[in-house]
Amino acid sequence: MTKLSVNINKIATLRNSRGGNIPDVVKAAIDAQNFGADGITVHPRPDERHIRRKDVFDIRPIIRTEFNIEGYPSRQFIDLVKSVKPHQVTLVPDPPEAITSNAGWDTITHLSFLQDVIAEFKEAGIRTSIFIDTNPDFILSAVNTNTDRVELYTEPYATLFPINPEKAVAPFVEAANIANKAGLKVNAGHDLNLQNLKYFNEHIPFLKEVSIGHALIADALYLGLERTINLYKEQLIK
């Protein structure tokens, strides 16, 4: 069964809009795990507009599943991750001003940079994943970074899915096969939801984990967090 990592950034966004500690992101992480999440994902940004550095340190001790920290590997981010020592770090090529992640790494152009960053995380004993498009050349080049996994950037799939599901999923099937053959494990994330997740999971081979935040937290406003997590988990049963 594909694992579900719940991204709780939007919980922090809501808290930050008012100040104080409502809703409590640590409690949200605890509840998500109790309700069946296989992991918790956070994406701290330099401006702390959602998850803050303090949140990352506060959340780490209560994790009993897996902790995934994603973000752009600036020096500040690298030092934070090495201090916290999550189970996995996902490297995302978004600049500080980006609203959300909107592209994968060009692992050919940035090969040397990624090699150096990943070497640091490997030395610290942290599993690494690279956010990446379905471009076969980028996936094959990712092998040379020494990463453990790639996370397929699924916004193109989500955009095309309502129009042509078969065409939408085809490049991701190919990408997953290429990654597996090259010795990389496969994660996926971005704009996956209750409408498109089941189809994606059924068609993508070797899929280890999906990371979902925005849609899942939005659904939880109507359905409640426990029911929502259970519904997402149901989509991941093959």
Alpha carbon dihedral 173, 114, 4, 165, in 10-degree steps, equals: -30
187: left (phi over 0), alpha (psi -120 to 50) or beta: beta
Positions marked active-site: 43, 70, 190
| Residue range 129-180, pLDDT digits in tens | 999 999 999 999 999 999 999 999 999 999 999 999 999 999 999 999 999 9
The domain 3-235 having CATH identifier 3.40.190.10: the answer here is no
DSSP strand pairing (3-7 vs 39-42): parallel
- Is residue 205's pLDDT more than 80? yes
| Residue range 46-86, pLDDT digits in tens | 999 999 999 999 999 999 999 999 999 999 999 999 999 99
What is the pTM assigned to this prediction?
0.95
CA angle 103, 131, 58 (to 5 degrees): 115
Alpha carbon dihedral 155, 159, 160, 162, in 10-degree steps, equals: 130
CA distance 217 to 222: 9
Q: Which residue has the tokens 């059924």?
A: 202
Q: What is the pLDDT of residue 7?
A: 98
